Chain A
């Protein structure tokens, strides 16, 4: 089976010489939901920007559903990898929600009824059809995050990559976002240091630190390994024990 996402020996340093990725290796199969865990400055966001060709690696390879992320097919790669950024104010830049959700597919030449249909399907999938004509800055944080997900769903991606999806969300909005993401049934890579969220949403986790993947396995197992977590500056919230958690 062709992996939905394959990252092979990825190296990257910023122009100032800071080495951020030092040989990242993993792959994700279609339909999997995977959490990418790691402390601040582990290189998570830098890795994410490689997944749809916004940053180009110094060495190594990213392949999305069989297509290598190289200059010749960057446009197709960007369609296949749907990135949802950490700050929804960065993601939603058009005057209305409808125009924002249409932005992606319109860049791929869709127009008229077909575009209209994509927009309404994507907005319905996140339960936001009724805000289509509102301005993004008039929505609540949770609503904005859901619309942000719709802006990439409308491009029909192979894999959805969310960078810190729970930042600045209240508990109810977190819960709604989990439900929506589970309902989508799409391949997910969730970048986070919100460990309970990872456990709730993703059966499998990757642990990244110092520009490498240092652990890869079932989320519940990873989170039960206190030594591993402590070694990589990750901590479970007070009173939280993954062993007692079962999603119904």
Chain B
């Protein structure tokens, strides 16, 4: 058995943000990201407003800053690429001391950095305040294709099972003195990967039998979820609505 009682991105809590219905949070996230994406890059002030909104949710959701910062670190590989742009971009160039930055490249790096960070931040906040089963029922409520939510659900359900199996195989290998060091010692992991594939495939067959045994006809039944009153929608959508207004002002005034 693996440890944790929830996925690594989730932070258990009962803040107003945690308690919002998942479907409203999903729509709010999508709208917020849309607002960020359509904002012209020169409207630096607009991005400042967005960052303020993210900060507001961070505080309202009672997510500790350290937790949040560690999780948005996922964007670093992408950002590292953006940092190259000022050096490889086209002229005109801006001389700063001994270095010459491409202005076009600088704007490119800024856009990726700011839009990426805002998008990742908002997504991390959604993940921190919403359990995966709730996300799935929220998607179902929003009429996402049942096939999609079912596949995502199975993935979540069996990720632990399969990774435990992999863990046991690795233990079994280590228990018999397998301590790989060189590339040509890779036969055992390759075989284990194959075995894991076969085992998962067979498990898939058994799961299907278990589903069929309970009257499965090819369509997943609806996940239980409750409709939410309009007021909840207004609360959830007020922030992205503000962001959209800011984006429109930025678009018009540029």
Contact = CB atoms under 8 A, between A and B. Distances in A.
Interface of A: 49, 52, 54, 75, 78-79, 81, 83, 85, 87, 89-96, 98-99, 102-104, 106-108, 111, 115-116, 135-138, 151-152, 155
Interface residues of B, number: 27
A98 B215 CA distance: 17
Contacts of B99: none
Contact of B215 (A75, A85, A87): A75
Given A75-B215, A85-B206, A155-B214, A111 B153 contact: no
A95 B153 contact: yes
Contacts, number: 81
A119 to B, nearest CB: 9
B214 A93 contact: no
6 contacts: A54-B212, A54-B213, A107-B215, A108-B215, A135-B157, A155-B215
Interface stretch (B51-59, B79-87, B88-96, B220-228): B220-228
A188 B103 CA distance: 77
B160 A137 contact: yes
B222 A106 contact: yes
A93 B207 CA distance: 7
Interface string B176-212: 0000000000000000000000000001001101111
A50 to B, nearest CB: 12
Nearest to A49: B209
Contacts of A107: 214-217, 221
Contacts of A115: 224
B215 A93 contact: no
